[in-house]
Amino acid sequence: MSYDPQNIFAKILRGDAPCIKVCESEHTLAFMDVMPQSEGHVLVVPKEAAANIHDVSDEALAACMRTVKRVAAAVREALKPEGMLIAQFNGAAAGQTVEHIHVHIIPRWSDVPLKAHGRERADDARLEALAQRIRAALQAE
Ligand code: AMP
């Protein structure tokens, strides 16, 4: 798949579009999903310009998964979910809507149904409050 530098995550990585940041490293960025499937839904992206798992370098993917593990631990500490769904989609047929590789961290509670994928825009103040709690857990590591 060719990489479109105008995709929304490329714009976020360049600073051309806003995001509610959770953490940033040399090779990765984690931010709140604006249409969350549950409270505390975070996305992690490598900074490398790659559309999907078939294009990304081993190094960028490894860096991304290190951040996924770290952020998942912070989400767990901050929000105390009963479980956690970690997902990554490749191609429209698999449900991918943004063509810059990303990993979903979706905390789950057994009595709370999963919301539809990418449908309902959340309130920014609510997302920021959740991000603050996750950032605090990262700082307390
Ligand atoms: P996927 O369908 O796996 O490509 O997931 C894309 C995800 O990005 C969806 O969960 C969307 O809710 C989310 N999303 C789309 N635009 C933005 C944005 N500007 N900031 C944060 N999340 C976004």
Q: What is the pLDDT of residues 47-63, one digit of tens each?
A: 999 999 999 999 999 99
Query: Tens digit of pLDDT for each residue in 62-100?
Result: 999 999 999 999 999 999 999 999 999 999 999 999 999
Q: How far is the CA of 35 from the centre of ligand 1 (A)?
A: 7
Residue 89 Cβ inside 6 Å of ligand 1? The answer reads: yes
Which strand ranges, in their side-by-side order, compose the sheet holding 42-46? 21-24, 28-32, 42-46, 103-108, 83-87
Residue 98 Cβ inside 6 Å of ligand 1? The answer reads: yes
Q: How far is the CA of 133 from the centre of ligand 1 (A)?
A: 21
Which range, of 64-73, 116-125, 128-137, averages the lowest pLDDT?
A: 116-125
**Which secondary-structure segment (H or E) carries 9?**
helix 8-14
Measured between alpha carbons, how far is 7 from 66 in angstroms, rounded to an integer? Answer: 24
Strand blocks (E) in the chain: 21-24, 28-32, 42-46, 83-87, 103-108
Instruction: Please give the backbone phi and psi of residue 107, each rounded to the nearest 5 degrees, phi first.
Output: -65, 145
The CATH H-level (homologous superfamily) assignment of domain 8-140 is HIT-like (3.30.428.10)
Q: How far is the CA of 97 from the centre of ligand 1 (A)?
A: 7
For the chain, the residue count is 141
Residue 138 Cβ inside 6 Å of ligand 1? The answer reads: no
pLDDT the model gives residue 37: 97
pLDDT the model gives residue 2: 82
CB 6 within 8 A of CB 83: no
Residue 65 Cβ inside 6 Å of ligand 1? The answer reads: no
Measured between alpha carbons, how far is 73 from 67 in angstroms, rounded to an integer? Answer: 10
